[in-house]
Each structure stands twice: as C-alpha cells, then as structure tokens.
C-alpha cells in the first residue's frame, strides 16, 4: 500500500495533523519512535491556553484555536498574571503596547487588585498585567481526542517505529524503521526535537530547529494554594507557577540547549525555581514531590514551520512549535492540513497568514 502521507511522531503535532489529513480523505500512517504516543514533550507539558504566550505573531493561532478547545471541553478557566516590580515598569508598559492590537484581552493591575488575586505576595511586587481568558488545558484529553479522530478516519498509528532510512523513487518515499517498511507520497516532519535529524535523513536542509529543556517541579506547601489562583508569570521571564490538585506546579522558565533526548531535570534548575518562588510569595515549601523536564523545539525566529519544503519534493514540515504547540493545535493542524491537501480555508483559518510559518522563509 502506498500512503498519501507518512507522519513522523505521534505527539500533539503528529496526532493533530494526522486527524486533519485523514479526515480530508488522505491515506495516513503515523510512525512513532516510542512505545506509546506522547512520551516526550506532549506527555510532560504543564500547558495552558494563554493568549499572549509566544508573542504577537502567535496570537492569531491561539485565538483561532480557543473556540474549538472550549467547545470540546478541554479548557478550564484560570486567568493569568504577569507580575513585576517597580524596576519592571518599562517591561509591563512594553508588554501592553506590544499586544495592544492583537485582539488579546489584557489589562493593567496595580498593587491592590494584584494582592487580592495573589495572596502572600511580597511587597516589592507592585504591578501586573491581567489576562482573564487564560485557561488550563486538558493535555492528555486533547491528545487522545486527536488520536481518536485520526484512527476513526482510517489513519494507522505504528509505535516503536523510529525512522531509520528514507529513499525517494518515482514520487514515492520508501521509509524504513527497525523491521518495517512503508511507502508514502509525502513525508510530514512532526518529529519535535528530532525534526532537523529527519530533514538530514531525507536530504533536506535543516532549519536549525533547536531543542531547549524546560523544567517543572510539583511542590507541597504548608498551606495548599487556592484552587482558583491565577497562572502567575514573571514579566522578566524567570518563573511561572499555577495550582494543580492541591499542589503547586512551578517552573524556572529555563530554556537550556539540549540534544534530542529523553530529557531529565537538573537539580540546579529545581533549586533556582524554588529560590525564585521564595522571592515572590511568603508560602512555606514543605517538599518537592515530583520533578520533570521536557524539550521545547524552536526555529531561529521562534515561529512554527508549516508546509512543503522548498527544495525536497514530497517532504513537508509541521514542527518548531516550541511551548505553544498544544494551545495552538486546532488552528495549526487545520491550517497545515489545508496547505498540504491544497484545500480552501474555513472559518477557523481564514484570518491566518500562512506565510509567517512557511518553510521557505529561511531560504
């Protein structure tokens, strides 16, 4: 059998694009290297839907994805605070200006309203930007939703199928994994941290998609955090935290360069996260209950890459989705599917500028 599309990776990127392509009538196979889909970045995400996350160029994808995520029950309202001290006033002001025309809902808060939303806040934190629409994402549920959609539409998902060899002849890729072989007209690179490696395998120019390690810890506090505590982020990008089932999930917002790997947290990052939290609030940390790390993969301009490679026939990209791949997955996969199938836009994607995310922008 010759598939129309073979997709490398079954995380949120591979699962979502598989669903869109299969529902568009294509014959699809997904090649997942691990024992189960979502082992790496998707399975380790503390994801939230936050309108400004990723920068102004990502806001259209996030806003376009919001209705789908809400309508299918994957969002739980939380709200977000970007907090700062007196010295951070230029950054708070700059943030407001930067996102003023994007359609994101943001407003400035001074100390009084801020303290009401974030109890125990130390006095040097004097201002914030409030994003009321921010929500938690049911990452596991969303991932399974896309896998289910893909399978229902006829896509085949094969685990323990790391791509080892790819050769193209007469407009067909012959793709080899350990002990298995697949033929497909188009290979879609949704390999996350391994995306540049897949490009090299097929003879395409790598796009310098860089894996960066992000650390998260789960803390038990002397007094559980309020369940309605907002997602709280430093305007200078040094931490974020939010409550989770009576515990606190905390990250030092690290982005350490890494080789593609099964990422593990480093003790220094864990210690830095706790030290930064103690600069913000007077909460007593009783224990580190869990700690983990994942790889977020970014193109050089930190925008995702969707579409056909400009040089290698039958090779397409759906990669470089950084830390925003989950919150933008509905619109991103819909747009990429339309590009690959040469379909017309619909209501979800009609306002998106695909040229911002095209692979040929690096040519």
Q: What is the DSSP string of 109-139?
A: EEHHHHHHHSTTB-TTEEEEEEETT-EEE-H
Mean residue pLDDT across the chain: 96
Q: Are 278 and 219 in contact (CB under 8 A)?
A: no
- What percentage of residues in the chain have a pLDDT greater than 70? 100
Which residues are CB-contacts of 188 (< 8 A; sequence separation ≥ 6)? 5, 6, 7, 8, 14, 17, 21, 316, 317, 318, 340
Question: What CATH code is assigned to 2-43+139-207+301-362?
Answer: 3.50.50.60
pLDDT tens-place string over residues 200-217: 999 999 999 999 999 999
pLDDT at residue 45, as a whole number: 83
The label of the residue with tokens 């969707």 reads 306
Q: What angle separates helix 139-152 from helix 329-341, to the nearest 10 degrees? A: 30
Q: Is 172 helix (H, G, I), strand (E, B) or coil?
A: strand
pLDDT at residue 206, as a whole number: 97
Cβ neighbour number for residue 261 with a 10 Å cutoff? 13
Band (177; pLDDT cuts 50, 70, 90): very high
pLDDT at residue 351, as a whole number: 95
pLDDT at residue 55, as a whole number: 95
pLDDT at residue 38, as a whole number: 87
Looking at 3.30.9.10, 3.30.465.10, 3.40.50.12280, 2.40.50.100, the CATH number of the domain 80-132+210-298 comes to 3.30.9.10
Band (323; pLDDT cuts 50, 70, 90): confident
pLDDT at residue 359, as a whole number: 97
pLDDT at residue 163, as a whole number: 97
Band (86; pLDDT cuts 50, 70, 90): very high
Band (229; pLDDT cuts 50, 70, 90): very high
Which residues are CB-contacts of 24 (< 8 A; sequence separation ≥ 6)? 337, 341, 343
Enter the tokens of residue 73.
Answer: 């029950």
pLDDT at residue 333, as a whole number: 98
pLDDT at residue 47, as a whole number: 80
The label of the residue with tokens 């609030």 reads 281
Residues of the chain with CATH 3.50.50.60: 2-43+139-207+301-362
Q: Is the pLDDT of residue 11 over 80?
A: yes
From residue 282, alpha-carbon distances to 221, 231, 239, 274, 275 in Å are 11, 17, 16, 12, 12
Cβ neighbour number for residue 2 with a 10 Å cutoff? 13
Q: Are 291 and 218 in contact (CB under 8 A)?
A: yes
SS3 readout for 255-304: CEECCCCCCCCCHHHHHHHHHHHHHHECCCEEEEEEEEEEEEEECCCCCC
**If you compute the radius of gyration of the chain from its CA atoms, what whole number of angstroms results?**
21
Q: Given its phi and psi angles, is residue 124 left (phi above 0), alpha (psi -120 to 50 degrees) or beta?
A: alpha
pTM listed for this prediction? 0.96
Q: How many helices (H) and strands (E) does the chain have?
A: 8, 20
Distance CA 302, CA 132 (A): 25
pLDDT at residue 40, as a whole number: 82
Report which secondary-structure segment, H or E, holds 218: strand 210-221
Distance CA 363, CA 309 (A): 10
pLDDT tens-place string over residues 346-359: 999 999 999 999 99
In this structure, what are the phi and psi dihedrals at residue 265, rounded to the nearest 5 degrees?
-75, 150
Q: Is the pLDDT of residue 39 over 90?
A: no
pLDDT at residue 46, as a whole number: 78
Band (41; pLDDT cuts 50, 70, 90): confident
Q: Is the pLDDT of residue 43 over 80?
A: no
Q: Which of 191, 274, 284, 282 is nearest to 238 (CA)?
A: 274
DSSP letters, 38-71, are TTTTGGG---EE-TTTT-GGGHHHHHHHHHHHHH
pLDDT at residue 309, as a whole number: 98
Mean pLDDT of 136-146: 97
Band (263; pLDDT cuts 50, 70, 90): very high
Mean pLDDT of 299-309: 98
Q: Is the pLDDT of residue 363 over 90?
A: no
pLDDT at residue 100, as a whole number: 95
Mean pLDDT of 247-267: 96
């Amino acid at each position: 059998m010759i598939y129309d599309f073979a997709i490398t990776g079954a995380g949120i990127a591979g699962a979502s694009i598989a669903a869109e392509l299969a529902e568009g009538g294509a014959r699809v196979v997904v090649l997942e290297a691990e024992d189960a889909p979502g082992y790496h970045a998707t399975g380790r995400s503390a994801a939230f839907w936050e309108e400004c996350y990723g920068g102004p160029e990502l806001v259209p994808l996030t806003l376009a994805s919001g209705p789908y995520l809400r309508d299918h029950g994957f969002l739980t309202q939380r709200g977000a605070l970007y907090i700062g001290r007196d010295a951070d006033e230029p950054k708070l002001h700059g943030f407001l200006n930067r996102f003023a025309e994007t359609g994101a809902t943001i407003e400035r808060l001074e100390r009084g309203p801020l303290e009401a939303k974030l109890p125990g806040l130390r006095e040097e934190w004097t201002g914030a930007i409030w994003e009321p629409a921010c929500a938690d994402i049911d990452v596991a549920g969303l991932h399974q939703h896309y896998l289910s959609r893909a399978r229902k539409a006829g896509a085949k998902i094969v685990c323990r199928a790391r791509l080892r060899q790819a050769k193209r002849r007469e407009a067909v890729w012959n793709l080899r994994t350990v002990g298995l072989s697949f033929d497909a007209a188009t290979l879609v690179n949704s390999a996350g941290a391994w995306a540049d490696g897949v490009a090299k395998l097929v003879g395409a120019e790598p796009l310098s998609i860089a894996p960066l390690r992000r650390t998260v810890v789960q803390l038990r506090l002397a007094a559980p955090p309020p369940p309605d505590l907002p997602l709280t982020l430093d305007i200078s990008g040094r931490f974020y935290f939010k409550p989770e089932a009576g515990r606190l999930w905390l990250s030092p917002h690290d982005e350490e360069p890494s080789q593609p790997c099964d990422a593990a947290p480093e003790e220094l990052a864990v210690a830095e996260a706790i030290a930064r939290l103690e600069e913000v609030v007077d909460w007593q940390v009783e224990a580190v209950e869990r700690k983990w790390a994942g790889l977020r993969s970014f193109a050089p301009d930190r925008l995702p890459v969707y579409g056909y490679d400009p040089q290698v026939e039958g090779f397409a990209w759906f990669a470089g989705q950084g830390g925003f791949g989950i919150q933008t997955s509905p619109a991103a996969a819909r747009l990429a599917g339309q590009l690959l199938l040469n379909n017309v836009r619909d209501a979800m994607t009609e306002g998106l500028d695909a040229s911002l995310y095209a692979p040929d922008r690096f040519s």
